[in-house]
Structure 1
Amino acid sequence: SSTVPLLVVLDKRPVYDLSVDVPELFTDRDVSLKNNDGTLVGSLFLFADKSLKLLDRIGLVPFRVAGHEAAERWVIERQDTPGDWAGIVPAMINSLLMFHVLGYAVNHPYLKRGLEALDRFCIAEGQATGSEEPQYLRLQPCISPTWDTALGGSALLDSGLAKTHPRLQAAAEWLLTQQIFRYGDWAIYNLKGKPAGWAFEFYNDYYPDVDDTAAVIMMLLDTKLPAEEKDEAKLAACRAATEWVMTMQCRAGGWAAFDIDNTQELWNQMPYGDLKAMIDPPTADLTGRVLEMLGHWQNKLGEKLYRDEDLQRAMQFLLSLQEPDGAWWGRWGVNYIYGTYLALVGLRAIAPYANFDMQCEAVQRAAAWLRSVQNADGGWGETCASYKRPELRGKGASTPSQTAWALLGLMAAGDVDSGAVKQGIAYLLTTQNADGSWPEAEFTGTGFPGHFYINYHQYRNQFPLTALGRYAAATF
């Protein structure tokens, strides 16, 4: 969604001399392509890149017009009705630039709707002197209403709020309106799945994801809608979504976020792929979330919505990713604390139905690792630098969200009354603000490991509330 329109922009080379230099954007003025990993595949990609550029300079690009038309059609097809592309700013900006360089007028519906969508991502702050305009505009890279609603609802439920509370019912009914029933790009390789998932954003019909879908299902299963027919429709929606999730299981046994079996590491060797995010492999955190969701179905409704062989493949995949010290790497949250928490919570949820012993060596090794990286103040924290320097795993200033993850992992492993857990609970209670929120300036969400991180404004509140609620349920 970001690359296709960008290819057209780069081919058109729209260069405008604004007589402005921005040296602060560059740490190295040498912007030539490099084989950063020193691999043979990387060298081949560089050779291909230089060869194609030579052909371009001498005018030998036989399918250029057809390529532009194909890219243009692809981008048009993937614009959501309100104007968004994939619900993320890079795709939106690149698509707007593509239409501009192709000669579209600024008031053309493609551009007009796209610009309106971009405006919805802006946060206005302050007020300019002598003007009604804001002093600052901050452009968010993405917006996460589905994710926040599912996690926030589950946190309130864990805290003891009644499943029939009007606010939870309103949240559940809104989530049901966001379910996606159209085929997206995931269906290119998933030939069995029928659309029924949820996406992270308000509008992103082509790219629902497994993580959001599993989180939404669990929140909906825990909420009771006011009318019986509505509640039955809710369950039908959740069953359809779970069936879709099960068709997204990769051959390796785990789940990825958006795709199935998209694991060809060679694509990350492309010069353009310096973020190492050209593929979408299955990960421990996603697999743990799905296992938790499957266990939730059986615990709450007694429904088994998986095949035994698929469950065993998933559990074997998850256990195979455990590090020697007991931790799991986290793809979508920072980092090993996040991955370890979700692995343990998933195993705990499914253990009664999979004949899995939560006292086994793998689980206890993970719990021991979590206890070993607890900070002196009773909390847990981990720096984003642990993605590039694994020796920093579990090291960093304590944060409310990461402390909650560690506590949730320990409690899932059966540790509810150790000194480590009590100290972690005390950390959350003593750092809470007077208004009930928690302070957290750190970035604990992950976009692209090693490159791009997210400060989810609700993580600091959602996860501590969940941890405190589960601790209270286990001890009082």
Structure 2
Amino acid sequence: MTMSAGGVPHANGPVVAGDAGVTFAFSASGPEEEAARDAVVRAANHLLARQDAEGWWKGRFTTDVSYDAHDLFLRHVLGVPDERLAKASARWIRSQQSADGSWPLVFEGEGHLGTTVQAYAALRLAGDGPDEEHMLRCAAWVRARGGVAAAQLTARVWLAMLGCWSWDDLPEVPPEIIALPKWAPLNIYSFSSVMRVALVAISIISAHRPVRPAPFAIDELSAPPGTSAVPPAPSGGREKLFWRLNATVRVCSKGIPRPVREAAENACVRWLLERQEEDGSWGACTPMTTWVVLALHLHGYPPDHPVLKAAWGFLEDCGAWPEDGVRALHTVHSPVWDTCLSATALLDAGLAPGHPALVKAADWLLTRQADRPGDWAARRPRLSPGGWAFQFHNRTYPDNDDTSEVALALHRVNHPDPTRVDDALGRAVRWCLGMQSRNGGWAAFDVDNTSTLPARVPFFDFGEFCTDPPTADITAHVVEMLAALGRARDPRTRRAVRWLLGQQEANGAWYGRWGVNYVYGTGSVLPALVAAGVPRGHAAVRRAVAWLTSVQNADGGWGESWESYADPARAGRGPSTPSQTAWALLGLLAAGERDSTVVRDGVRWLTERQTEDGTWDEPQFTGTLVPRAVAAHYGYYGHVFPLMALGRYVRHTGDVSVGRQRNEATEPDR
């Protein structure tokens, strides 16, 4: 006898529960499992109702308000202000201000000086006066923290363009950097892909030093008397050397012959134009596109040039209007990531692998696979393309994370054309294997992008995150994918497993580079290790289980503060959230802890907090773009991960290795 999600017994065959057609082949073991089944059905129905007709899902992806400010700055510097848009953006920026007058990087987080300075300047551009109460609170907060001089570099670059800071007090980024060969220190490929595009664009901007004075001064943001007017230079010997070298570069730049400088700028422009995407963007990302639009304008491109018109079209498309008269900028669109995670969540819930929604999602994902080399080919020139990127249109920067998660979803779908899927998966496996770094791990976008020099130059203030080294979370997803596709015994998979085991922290957790933080890293690594054949009784698995158990909140959930990136003492500590609770459960389920009190309490936390329409509320930012610098809120994280965790719980499976078995793919072409 089987039982429906609502507890009604049926005598014949599997039960079909709800519109999703989710089936349960056995009776629930108790009230917790019964509640979890009901939550799974409602969550699956909620997700299915939100699939686009073309097959994709996309949640709203948001970051802090600094990029809304950049949009207003760009329009001012280019002389194309839009009063209606400025007023609408200002309403959004004001709505995100904290009670102390600052703007944080994350929901209810601590104020961030650079973001706050940029928000203030943007509001002044939009017409807010310095004597308004919210502006007075902001100015006082900024002054108490050292004023504009202590703000992050990006804020001061934009202020220089507004005439509120001196270009002489900023790093010099010569466009001649484009000519450095790939083997040279500090060539553009030494930087991560995100920083690389910005670096090339900023080199053009730096050469022109544009200034369109704002119709106001921001003296009210100046530091109190007695504080340093300029941020102190780094104290290390090598850092001091770079600052001295940068000062020398500034002097030498004035003597560069005009033809040489023009040739360098032209080379930078050609490099940028080769990377414009079909949607008019660079990297399908508003910050990168904003920098490039400004650079091309300064280089002489007229506003009606097709390149700039396409770019403006992308920027306009990224403006969301959550309510009348309010505009919030999307930093990126995330359909590939949201779609593969949604498909996996529905499969975990028990949706039939051949369900039309899953086939449609697979069809759409298959059209997004990269078919031409991107920047990764600088280090892997003979490797054939085969990855997926995050966005609608981004063939230049596919990443190992999206590629592995798309492959994990595709291999479980019962597609009417399995040969087509197999071919795509074969290309994905070859590409991922070819992107493995020397140490055995995988990074997001590049191979062996591990130089320590970019973190020491004054071009950016993101520190070690100017590069793209292998990380535990991405390596885990690739390992999980390789294991699911029959590659668990491949020597390269085994090497990656050894690397993961070596990355475990002393407390049993793993660092999370792309999600907050140790809960994300640990919840990613445990399923990968088990899928790759590491026994559940292995010491590393047991240490991880003990750590997750130790940081469970009294309410049964899990949460971790964004501040854990700056303060490891906060690892695993914070108010419970749906996505972080799900990540912990995914790790514990993979480790064989399904029947533990810890898991039951976590499941209960999720089921008791599901909303009436079948989802979960999660205002917290649990995604990461740059630790300590750029956080992200994924609109679907608070839904797809709880659905995965509850689905695996009620279906008594802890990993996603189920699916059609694949033959070993051919060796990657390096």
1:438 equivalent in structure 2? 616
> CA shift at 1:413, angstroms?
1.2
Code of the residue aligned with 2:516 in structure 1: it is V
Which of 457, 466, 476 does residue 270 from structure 1 map onto? 457
2:29 equivalent in structure 1? none
Which of 556, 576, 584 does residue 398 from structure 1 map onto? 576
2:560 corresponds to 1:387: no
2:176 equivalent in structure 1? none
Distance 1:437 1:27, change over 3 A: farther
2:321 equivalent in structure 1? 124
Code of the residue aligned with 2:251 in structure 1: it is L
TM-score (norm 1): 0.92
1:15 equivalent in structure 2? 211
Which of 277, 298, 303 does residue 80 from structure 1 map onto? 277
Q: Secondary structure at the match of 2:504?
A: coil
Please tell me whether the aligned partners of residues 75 and 95 of structure 1 are also in contact (alpha carbons under 8 angstroms): yes
> CA shift at 1:54, angstroms?
2.2
Please tell me whether the aligned partners of residues 371 and 386 of structure 2 are also in contact (alpha carbons under 8 angstroms): yes
Which of 325, 332, 335 does residue 507 from structure 2 map onto? 325
Distance 1:16 1:30, change over 3 A: farther
Distance 1:23 1:151, change over 3 A: farther
Moved over 2 A (4+): 20-36, 38-41, 54-63, 306-309
> CA shift at 1:122, angstroms?
1.2
Distance 1:25 1:410, change over 3 A: farther
> CA shift at 1:274, angstroms?
1.2
2:342 corresponds to 1:342: no
TM-superposition CA deviations, 1:111-168 (whole Å, max 9, x none): 00000011121101323xxxxxxx1221111111000000011001100111111111
2:443 equivalent in structure 1? 256
Which of 243, 253, 256 does residue 56 from structure 1 map onto? 253
2:429 corresponds to 1:242: yes
> CA shift at 1:30, angstroms?
6.5
Q: Secondary structure at the match of 1:239?
A: helix
Please give the alpha-carbon distance, in whole angstroms, between the structure 2 residues aligned to 1:169 and 1:79: 31
Please give the alpha-carbon distance, in whole angstroms, between the structure 1 residues aligned to 2:223 and 2:649: 47
Please tell me whether the aligned partners of residues 340 and 409 of structure 1 are also in contact (alpha carbons under 8 angstroms): yes
2:354 equivalent in structure 1? 164
Please tell me whether the aligned partners of residues 45 and 270 of structure 1 are also in contact (alpha carbons under 8 angstroms): yes
Matches within 5 A, 1:107-122: 107-122=304-319
Distance 1:47 1:180, change over 3 A: same
Code of the residue aligned with 1:424 in structure 2: it is G
Distance 1:290 1:475, change over 3 A: closer
Please tell me whether the aligned partners of residues 223 and 229 of structure 2 are also in contact (alpha carbons under 8 angstroms): no
Matches within 5 A, 1:225-236: 225=415, 227=416, 230-236=417-423
2:471 equivalent in structure 1? 283
Which of 200, 210, 214 does residue 4 from structure 1 map onto? 200
Distance 1:263 1:16, change over 3 A: same
Distance 1:289 1:475, change over 3 A: closer
2:161 equivalent in structure 1? none
CA RMSD of aligned residues (A): 2.0
Please tell me whether the aligned partners of residues 285 and 331 of structure 2 are also in contact (alpha carbons under 8 angstroms): yes
Distance 1:282 1:325, change over 3 A: same
Please give the alpha-carbon distance, in whole angstroms, between the structure 1 residues aligned to 2:232 and 2:619: 35
Structure 2 residue ranges without an equivalent (≥5): 1-196, 655-670
Code of the residue aligned with 2:293 in structure 1: it is L
Please tell me whether the aligned partners of residues 332 and 445 of structure 1 are also in contact (alpha carbons under 8 angstroms): yes
Please give the alpha-carbon distance, in whole angstroms, between the structure 1 residues aligned to 2:653 and 2:448: 42
1:201 equivalent in structure 2? 391
Please tell me whether the aligned partners of residues 370 and 388 of structure 2 are also in contact (alpha carbons under 8 angstroms): yes
Q: Secondary structure at the match of 1:474?
A: coil
Please tell me whether the aligned partners of residues 41 and 266 of structure 1 are also in contact (alpha carbons under 8 angstroms): no
1:176 equivalent in structure 2? 366
Please give the alpha-carbon distance, in whole angstroms, between the structure 2 residues aligned to 1:280 and 1:198: 17
Q: Secondary structure at the match of 1:149?
A: helix
> CA shift at 1:222, angstroms?
0.8
Please give the alpha-carbon distance, in whole angstroms, between the structure 2 residues aligned to 1:368 and 1:26: 49
Code of the residue aligned with 1:118 in structure 2: it is L
2:338 corresponds to 1:148: yes
1:295 equivalent in structure 2? 483
Structure 1 residue ranges without an equivalent (≥5): 128-134, 299-303
1:132 equivalent in structure 2? none
2:369 corresponds to 1:188: no
Q: Secondary structure at the match of 2:327?
A: strand
Code of the residue aligned with 1:315 in structure 2: it is V
> CA shift at 1:21, angstroms?
3.8
Please give the alpha-carbon distance, in whole angstroms, between the structure 2 residues aligned to 1:24 and 1:205: 45
Bigger shift: 99-108 or 458-467? 99-108
Please tell me whether the aligned partners of residues 34 and 46 of structure 1 are also in contact (alpha carbons under 8 angstroms): no
> CA shift at 1:40, angstroms?
2.5
> CA shift at 1:429, angstroms?
0.4
Q: Secondary structure at the match of 2:532?
A: helix
TM-superposition CA deviations, 1:39-91 (whole Å, max 9, x none): 32211211111111122356678732121111111111110122111111111
> CA shift at 1:309, angstroms?
2.3
> CA shift at 1:191, angstroms?
3.2
Matches within 5 A, 1:90-101: 90-101=287-298
Q: Secondary structure at the match of 2:443?
A: coil
Q: Secondary structure at the match of 2:320?
A: strand
Distance 1:350 1:462, change over 3 A: same
Q: Secondary structure at the match of 2:624?
A: strand
Q: Secondary structure at the match of 1:367?
A: helix
Aligned residues: 455
Please give the alpha-carbon distance, in whole angstroms, between the structure 2 residues aligned to 1:411 and 1:30: 53
Distance 1:31 1:345, change over 3 A: farther
2:157 equivalent in structure 1? none
Please tell me whether the aligned partners of residues 589 and 653 of structure 2 are also in contact (alpha carbons under 8 angstroms): no
Please tell me whether the aligned partners of residues 476 and 525 of structure 2 are also in contact (alpha carbons under 8 angstroms): yes
Distance 1:179 1:371, change over 3 A: same
TM-superposition CA deviations, 1:91-126 (whole Å, max 9, x none): 100111011111211110010000001112110132
> CA shift at 1:381, angstroms?
0.2
Distance 1:33 1:258, change over 3 A: farther
TM-superposition CA deviations, 1:388-416 (whole Å, max 9, x none): 10110000000000000000011111111
TM-score (norm 2): 0.66
Larger Rg: 2
Please give the alpha-carbon distance, in whole angstroms, between the structure 1 residues aligned to 2:323 and 2:431: 44
2:548 corresponds to 1:370: yes
2:461 corresponds to 1:461: no
Bigger shift: 442-451 or 274-283? 274-283
Distance 1:26 1:11, change over 3 A: farther
Please give the alpha-carbon distance, in whole angstroms, between the structure 2 residues aligned to 1:271 and 1:386: 25
1:411 equivalent in structure 2? 589
Please give the alpha-carbon distance, in whole angstroms, between the structure 2 residues aligned to 1:74 and 1:389: 39
Distance 1:322 1:25, change over 3 A: farther
2:575 corresponds to 1:429: no
Please tell me whether the aligned partners of residues 288 and 342 of structure 1 are also in contact (alpha carbons under 8 angstroms): yes
Please give the alpha-carbon distance, in whole angstroms, between the structure 1 residues aligned to 2:451 and 2:221: 31
